Amino acid sequence: MAEQTPMMRQYLEIKSGYPDAILFFRMGDFYEMFLDDALIAARILDITLTSRNKGSGDEIPFCGVPYHSVTPYIAKLIETGHKVAICEQVEDPKQTKGIVRREVVRVITPGLLIEAESLAPDENNYLLALCQGEGDQWGIAWLDLSTGEFRVTELNGGPAAAAEAVCVHPREILLGEGVELETLPADLRDFVTDKIVSRAPAWVYERDYTRSLVCDQFGAASPESLGLEQMPWGLIAAGAALHYLRENRKSAIPHIREIKVYQRSEHLALDPATRRNLEITATMSEGKKNGSLLGCLDRTSTSMGARRLKQWLSYPLVGLEPIRQRLYAVEELLEQAGVREELVAQLKGIADLERLNGRIGMASAGGRDLRAMHDSLQRIPALVDLLAPLQSDLLRSLCTAIDPLDELRNLIERGIVESPPFSLREGGIIATGYNEELDELRAISREGKGFIARLEAQERARTGISSLKIRYNKVFGYSIEITKSNLANVPEDYIRRQTLANAERYITQELKNYEEKILGAEDRICELEFTLFQEIREQVAAQSGRIARTADGLASLDVLVSLALVADERGYTKPQVDESDSIEITDGRHPVIESMKLGERFVPNDTRLDGAENQILMITGPNMAGKSTYMRQVALITLMAQAGSFVPAAAARIGIADRIFTRVGAGDNLARGQSTFMLEMMEAAGILRNATPRSLIVMDEIGRGTSTFDGVSIAWAVAEFIHDTPTCRSRTLFATHYHELAELATTRERIKNYTVAVREWNDQVIFLRTIVPGSASHSYGIQVARLAGMPRDVIERAKEILHNLERGEYEEGAPRLAKSRKTKSTEASPQFTLFESNEDLLRQRLKKLNLSVTTPLEALNLLDELKKMI
Ligand code: ADP
Ligand code: MG
């Protein structure tokens, strides 16, 4: 590019500072993109690509978008994973000679969005910063710029850090320059790989620098006063996030004023697989909210509430007191149906105060935003009145947090018109009576317009030209327009200004005088209104702390109201939560499946789990019987209770769990495309390593991904481990279609057998969906295959093969299968096998027989019975 224009030189210089962003270069009414940026943007935005210096051999591709409708273009680029650097003219072009000075005023990245148009209302938009410390310690900080939420924690080990990152579900991840993805621990690498990764310079990750950034932002003298003294790496991650924010946002971020330091142990731990399997916030197959637990429970009225509910379900509690507080609040709102309905009515009229607060704080809010703030605040006094008589501690504290912010509401009411225009630069925003000077200027402008109308009438009379019009035009100002046919009657004192096809335009001295006055006033009005608006916005921004607290209170209130609403509609009950090791559920239902109304009535089931006799429930039964549904329902009820929700059951007692683990057999999560046996085993290994006696484990069809003998063996050994290992010994639901596993209960005291009742009828199977004590005697695979519409011949042939196989197992496979070094009973009776249940029964029956009281007839009958048995 031998002959660069000065403008191009300026462009290239600015662009060199933002190599990984698409540079929007402001030129007049357009943002232009050049070179590679233009090629990318033209394709994604579907806009015309042209070029400068056409045909010169030095062509520069470029494209552009109009500045006033730039938002959707930015949104589209961000959506496709790009960053956009906005470069503005920072001097008035009229007052500069040569080239206008330009600067990048902010960089928009996926994790730092604030525009309402680009954000899903019911989802947070997080940037997550990771920092690896010493001893495999990980600092994690995450923030939602649009709402001001900022959290930090520290975790030990890559898997724990990855689990947390998955839970946060960030839009963008920040790592240090030079941190190679390949060097990250496997779990983290897997998580980060397909995400948008941004980099901060390596020097940022330094103690003193990050400490000063964090203390500065949160107005603290030291990290200690923020509760960060035990989290050196968390502090660095938080500082790196703030650095990145400042670099890109380049404006004050007053609404980020609180840093929440948390420990993982404060919440019910759910590993990523469990979150997925239980479909807590998204369905497994499509990743949709609809069909998940969240989708089923969300009856919130505001987006703040919707986001908060998602957080409560993602981070259920483990502390008894806070759980009980939520439950009391829901109970009170459930009982007070009238109050609840009125609260809903008020909440529905409240806008997203968190995000409004963010936009106001970052000076990107318009008149409509302020007015939305006003209209929302207006509803708060009534809402507080409704809350005031309520008794539960949590509702009382929310009532105190929710602040009507009267003076702000008054300020906006007095200052901003009821329906302000979108633009901030063209006036019409500030209400009459707010500012004297503005009112005067408006009077002048109004008078001037009246004068113009009078002047027009006067000139028509004077010239006798009835088609004479006074027109206004941005470039030439006011003029008198006379059509060509009337030119003969134009008076002497008219001064010609402009010639059109059919008319001439003139001015007079009188018109010119007024023009100056009116236009002067109008310019001044726009300027003054803009200044006044900014002042009002700043006054509101100065209260961002109070607004944030109010928004926070409203979000929680909305969730509690929504939980009460759902509990009422679906007949949920209040769980009794305690620190026991029991989980006792009467008539429990699966919240999501029950609400889907699939035609089949949902059959409720009981559960009894504890650390003593009912530690492991071994649930056997055919495929499609309802095992998975049952186990998930127990896990979901536990999770709901710890999130503070009522539960779908007639009664429930939940001894708080520290973790919930679920492992779902390979066949059940094909959707992930990774249903390898290896993955299944890795997840199971993780469970056995991390589970505690306070945990709840759901093992669904473990070992299904391999051959039958392998599978049974692994499942068997895993169940034994959970039962026998004192540090593990978790409450466990163990489902398997290997009915052989029911034998375990005979050797392990805390294992209880359950099965899903089925009725056999005409060689068919009918699922009753009831969980009953006992075990299944068959897998019924062939019957299920018949239900699925397999051809008759295949079914018949399968039966034949099954028959042969089963005989084969009896003859040679079985004894080897059940033998164990440890199991005493096996050593005592070398004949014992899994599959000899008939012989067992025979033996038992004979043992019970008391010959001294048996009549000959009874003996004969017994003989007949025994014969049938074999
Ligand atoms: P399994 O794990 O035993 O193969 P699932 O739990 O996947 O069986 O359930 C099979 C089907 O039965 C599911 O589609 C579900 O809708 C239905 N189902 C399960 N439990 C019940 C129940 N308690 N009441 C009614 N329908 C149920
Ligand atoms: Mg299943």
Question: Is 435 annotated as ligand-binding?
Answer: no
What is the DSSP code (8-state) at residue 502?
Answer: S
First to last CA, the chain: 95
Most ligand 1 atoms within 8 A of CB, residue of 623, 629, 754 to mutate: 629
Q: What is the pLDDT of residues 637-657, one digit of tens each?
A: 999 999 999 999 999 999 999
Q: Is the pLDDT of residue 812 over 50?
A: no
Q: Which atom of ligand 1 is nearest to the CA of 623?
A: 4
Select 436-537's CATH number: 3.20.20.60, 3.30.420.130, 2.40.128.50, 1.10.1420.10.
1.10.1420.10
Please tell me the least confidently modeled range out of 488-497, 516-525, 745-754, 845-854.
Answer: 845-854
What is the DSSP code (8-state) at residue 809?
Answer: I
Q: What is the pLDDT of residues 376-395, one digit of tens each?
A: 999 999 999 999 999 999 99
Alpha carbon separation from 557 to 11, 38, 256, 308, 544 (Å, rounded): 51, 48, 22, 10, 20
Share of the chain above pLDDT 70, in %: 94
Contacts of 218 (CB under 8 A, 6+ apart): 226, 257, 258, 259
* Residue with the larger pLDDT of the pair 474 and 224: 224
Secondary-structure class of domain 576-810 per CATH: alpha beta
Q: How many CB atoms lie within 10 A of CB 606?
A: 15
**Ligand 1 center to residue 630 CA distance, Å?**
8
Q: What is the pLDDT of residues 339-374, one digit of tens each?
A: 999 999 999 999 999 999 999 999 989 999 999 999
Q: What is the pLDDT of residues 283-296, one digit of tens each?
A: 988 889 999 999 99
Q: Whose CA is nearest to atom 17 of ligand 1?
A: 626
Mean pLDDT of the chain: 88
Q: How many CB atoms lie within 10 A of CB 514?
A: 18
Do β-strands 196-200 and 172-176 pair in parallel, antiparallel, or remain unpaired?
parallel
Q: Where are the domains of the chain?
A: 6-108, 121-266, 320-401+545-570, 436-537, 576-810
What is the DSSP code (8-state) at residue 315?
Answer: S
**Ligand 2 center to residue 630 CA distance, Å?**
9
- Which residues does a 6 A CB cutoff place in the pocket of ligand 1? 593, 598, 600, 602-603, 621, 623-629, 769
Secondary-structure class of domain 6-108 per CATH: alpha beta
pLDDT at 420: 94
Question: Is 517 annotated as ligand-binding?
Answer: no
**Ligand 2 center to residue 735 CA distance, Å?**
8
Question: Is 624 annotated as ligand-binding?
Answer: yes
pLDDT at 811: 41
pLDDT classification of 137: cutoffs 50, 70, 90: very high
Q: Is the pLDDT of residue 671 over 70?
A: no
Domains 121-266 and 320-401+545-570 share a fold: no
**Ligand 2 center to residue 785 CA distance, Å?**
15
Question: Is 376 annotated as ligand-binding?
Answer: no
pLDDT classification of 826: cutoffs 50, 70, 90: very low
Alpha carbon separation from 519 to 431, 476, 511 (Å, rounded): 20, 12, 12
Q: How many CB atoms lie within 10 A of CB 280?
A: 23
Q: Which two tokens stand for residue 574?
A: 């209040």
d(CA 467, CA 479): 14
Select 320-401+545-570's CATH number: 1.10.3720.10, 3.30.450.40, 1.10.287.1260, 1.10.1420.10.
1.10.1420.10
Asked whether 261 and 152 are in contact (CB, 8 A), the reply is yes
Q: Is the pLDDT of residue 820 over 50?
A: no
Residue 755, judged by CB atoms within 10 A of its CB (0-12, 13-18, 19+), counts as: buried
Select 121-266's CATH number: 3.30.420.110, 3.40.50.720, 3.40.430.10, 3.40.50.2020.
3.30.420.110
pLDDT classification of 666: cutoffs 50, 70, 90: low
Q: Whose CA is nearest to atom 25 of ligand 1?
A: 602
pLDDT classification of 838: cutoffs 50, 70, 90: low
Q: What is the pLDDT of residues 581-635, one digit of tens each?
A: 999 999 999 999 999 877 778 999 999 999 989 999 999 888 888 999 999 999 9
pLDDT at 779: 66
Q: Is the pLDDT of residue 693 over 90?
A: yes
**Ligand 2 center to residue 596 CA distance, Å?**
18
Contacts of 757 (CB under 8 A, 6+ apart): 768, 769, 770, 771, 772
Share of the chain above pLDDT 90, in %: 62
The stretch 22-29 carries a mean pLDDT of 94
Asked whether 511 and 223 are in contact (CB, 8 A), the reply is no
Q: Whose CA is nearest to atom 23 of ligand 1?
A: 603
Output the pTM of the full model.
Answer: 0.84
Geometric angle at alpha carbon 316, from 314 and 319, rounded to 5°: 155
d(CA 365, CA 70): 16
Q: How many CB atoms lie within 10 A of CB 625?
A: 26
Question: Is 135 annotated as ligand-binding?
Answer: no
In 3D, which of 260, 249, 256 has the Cα closest to residue 357? Answer: 256
Q: Which atom of ligand 1 is nearest to the CA of 604?
A: 23
Do β-strands 149-156 and 260-261 pair in parallel, antiparallel, or remain unpaired?
parallel
**Ligand 2 center to residue 861 CA distance, Å?**
42
pLDDT at 373: 96
pLDDT at 829: 37
Question: Is 626 annotated as ligand-binding?
Answer: yes
Asked whether 290 and 283 are in contact (CB, 8 A), the reply is yes
Q: What is the pLDDT of residues 429-441, one digit of tens each?
A: 999 999 999 999 9
d(CA 456, CA 473): 16
